[in-house]
Structure 1
Amino acid sequence: MKLLRYGPLGQEKPGLLDADGRVRDLSAVVADIAGDVLTPAGLDKLASLDIASLPLVPGTPQRDLRLGACVGKVGKFICIGLNYADHAAESGAKVPDEPVVFNKWTSAIVGPNDDVEIPRGSSRTDWEVELGVVIGKGGRYIAEADAMSHVAGYCVVNDVSEREVQLERGGGQWDKGKGHDTFGPIGPWLVTADEVPDPQQLAMWLEVDGRRFQNGNTSTMVFGVKKLVSYLSQFMSLQPGDIISTGTPPGVGLGQKPVPIYLKAGQTMRLGIQGLGEQQQRTVQA
C-alpha cells in the first residue's frame, strides 16, 4: 500500500494511492496515518479494505492536490549521520565505528512539495536525499534478527541542513543545523514494507534546478536498516510513527569541488527513491 495524507496544511486527511494513481479517502476508516494505524494490526485492517469502494478524492496528487507529510503526529524524527562512506569522505569525516545519531525537530516536517525556507542569515543551506524508515511495531532492545518486523514502511526524506550552524557555530550543533522549520520534507507516500522486498537495493537521486548532484543507492550504507532499528532501540523505545532518516549518499553541496555549492531562494530541488516516489520543493527566504 501507498499511504498518504492530503489537503491543506494542518488539515490533512488520511488516504491511499490506488493502482491508477488516484487518491482514495480513508477518513471513514481511520483518523490519520499515525500511531496505532501503523502497527501490524492497523496495517492489516487497511490491507483488507476494498479500495474500489473508498471515495475518490478530486485532483491529481502533487499537481492540483496537495500532499502533506505521509505520517502524522510523529513522535521522534531520528537521523543518522555519515552513513555512506563516500559521503563521509566528501565531508572530511572518517567513517563512524557506530551510527552517528541526531534529531530533527518535528516542527521541521512538511509535505513533499511544500516550500523549503532558507533561514535568515544563512548562506550554507544544503540538501540530502535520504531513505526514511517508519516504525510500525514499537519496542526496546530489539534484536537485529527481529528488526524488520518493527518496520511499517519507507518514504523519501530531504534532510535539509544549514552547514554553518551544524559544523561551526557553538562548536557544531547538528540538531540546530538540521532542525529549522521546513527542513524535513517527508513523502509523497509511505510505502508499506511488503512492497519493498529489499530496502538495501534502492536507487536514490537529487537535482537542483535540473542539475543532478546526488546519484546513489542504499546498498552502500555503512549501517543498514536492520542494524539501525536494533541499534537505536538500545537507547530509546521506538514507537509507531517514529521516523528514522538513514543518511545520504555523496553529492551534497558541502562536498562540491573546487568550492561548495549551497541553496539560495528561488531554486527548485527535485529528488526521489526507487519505488517510493518523488519530491519537489521551491526554496524561499524565511
Structure 2
Amino acid sequence: MRWVTYDGGDGVRTGIVDEDSIRGLGPGVDLLSLVELGASGLAEAGASARRSPHEVRRLEDVRLLAPLPRPTSMRDGLCFLDHLRNARRALRMPGDIDPAWLDGPGFYFTNAGAVLGPYDDVAIAAGSRMFDLELEVGAVIGAGGRDLHPARAEKHIIGYTLFNDWTARDHQMRDFALGIGMGKSKDAATTLGPALITADELEPLRDGDGRLSIELAASVNGRELTRGNLALMDWTFGELLAYISRGVDLAPGDVIGSGTVPGGCLLEHVDGADPAEFTWLSPGDVVSLWGGVLGETRQTVVPGVDVTPLRLT
C-alpha cells in the first residue's frame, strides 16, 4: 500500500493512495499510530480505508505532507561508499577511505523535528552559503527490537520513502573541526515522501541477491545530477539495522536513511574547485528526487534567515 499524510483544508489526515485519489481515515488517526500496530495492523487499516473510507479526495486537491511528519527518531547511515570516495576525490583529499568504513556502516542522529513534506519549500540553513541536497531512501521501522541479526533485520522495516538529507557544507566543515559528529550541518531540514510504500509492495523488486532494486535519480532545475540503484548499497539495510540496534532498542516509527546514492549531492561534483566558490543551491532552485515506485519529490529552495553573532562586539 501507498500511505500518505495530507491536508485537504480541514485538518491533517492519513490515507492510502488509490490511483489519482486518496481514501482517507477519520480525524485523529495518524500514520505513526498505525505503524505502531505493526505490518498486520497497518494492512488492516488500509483494508478499512479501501473498503469504507471516511473521505475520498483527489490527490490534486490536497497538500501532501511528510508521511511521518514527526518520526520517533531519525538516523542517517552511509551505506554507499562511493559517495564518500567521490566527495574525497572532488575535494582532492589524498588516499582512500579509512579502513573503518569497510568494517561496518556509519550513521548519525539527525533532527526529527525538522521534517519537510515532498513539495514544501526548503529554506537554506541559517547562515549557510554552501547548501546541498542528498539523494537517499529512508526505511521506516515497524517492529521494534534490539541486537537484530543482519540476515533478518529487514523484517523489521514496515516501509520505505524517499529521503533528502539537506546539508549545509560550510557548517559541516565546522562540525568536522569540532570532532563530535554532525551538528548544525544537518539540523535544518530532511525531506520525507511523497508516501510510505509498505515493504510487501516492494518484494517483487528484489534481485537475485535479495536486494531491493529501485532506480533512483536526483535533478536540479530539470538537469539530472545522478542516477543510481538502491541495490548497489555496500552495506545493506539489514546490516545497517543490525549495527544500529547493537545494545539499543529500535522503535516503531524510527526512520533510517540509506546514505547518499553516489553522485547524488553537489559536493561530489565540486571536481577540485574551491568549495567556497562553487555554485551551491540558491533561492529559486528546484530540487527533485525520483524513485520509481517510491514516487517523486519536488521542492523550491527559498532564502534562509540571517544569524545573530553569538557575541556582540
Question: Shared fold (TM-score greater than 0.5)?
Answer: yes
**Structure-1-length-normalised TM-score:** 0.90
1:89 aligned partner = 85
Gaps of 5+ in 2: 89-95, 305-313
Gaps of 5+ in 1: none
| Residue 195 in structure 1 maps to residue 207 in structure 2 | no
| Residue 265 in structure 1 maps to residue 262 in structure 2 | no
Separation of aligned partners in 2, 1:243 and 1:194: 18
1:7 aligned partner = 7
Distance change in 2, residues 1:128/1:10 (3 Å): farther
1:186 aligned partner = 192
Q: For the Cα contact (< 8 Å) 1:33–1:72, is it kept in 2?
A: no
Matches within 5 A, 1:50-199: 51-60=50-59, 63-81=60-78, 83-92=79-88, 94=97, 96-97=101-102, 98-169=104-175, 171=177, 173-180=181-188, 183-197=189-203, 198=206
Q: What letter is aligned with 1:94? A: I
Q: For the Cα contact (< 8 Å) 2:175–2:182, is it kept in 1?
A: no
Q: For the Cα contact (< 8 Å) 1:32–1:72, is it kept in 2?
A: no
* Farther-moved stretch of structure 1 (149-158 vs 2-11): 2-11
C-alpha deviations, 1:251-275, integer Å up to 9, x for none?
2111112534411111100111121
Q: CA deviation at 1:59?
A: 3.5
SS in 1 for 2:31: coil
Q: CA deviation at 1:119?
A: 2.1
Q: What letter is aligned with 1:87? A: H
- Tell me how large the CA RMSD over aligned residues is: 2.2
Tell which structure's C-alpha radius of gyration is larger: 2
Q: What letter is aligned with 2:303? A: Q
* Farther-moved stretch of structure 1 (164-173 vs 227-236): 164-173
Q: CA deviation at 1:250?
A: 2.0
Q: What letter is aligned with 1:179? A: D
Match of residue 33, structure 1, among 31, 34, 51: 31
SS in 1 for 2:57: coil
More helix by share: 2
Separation of aligned partners in 2, 1:21 and 1:232: 37
Q: For the Cα contact (< 8 Å) 1:144–1:229, is it kept in 2?
A: yes
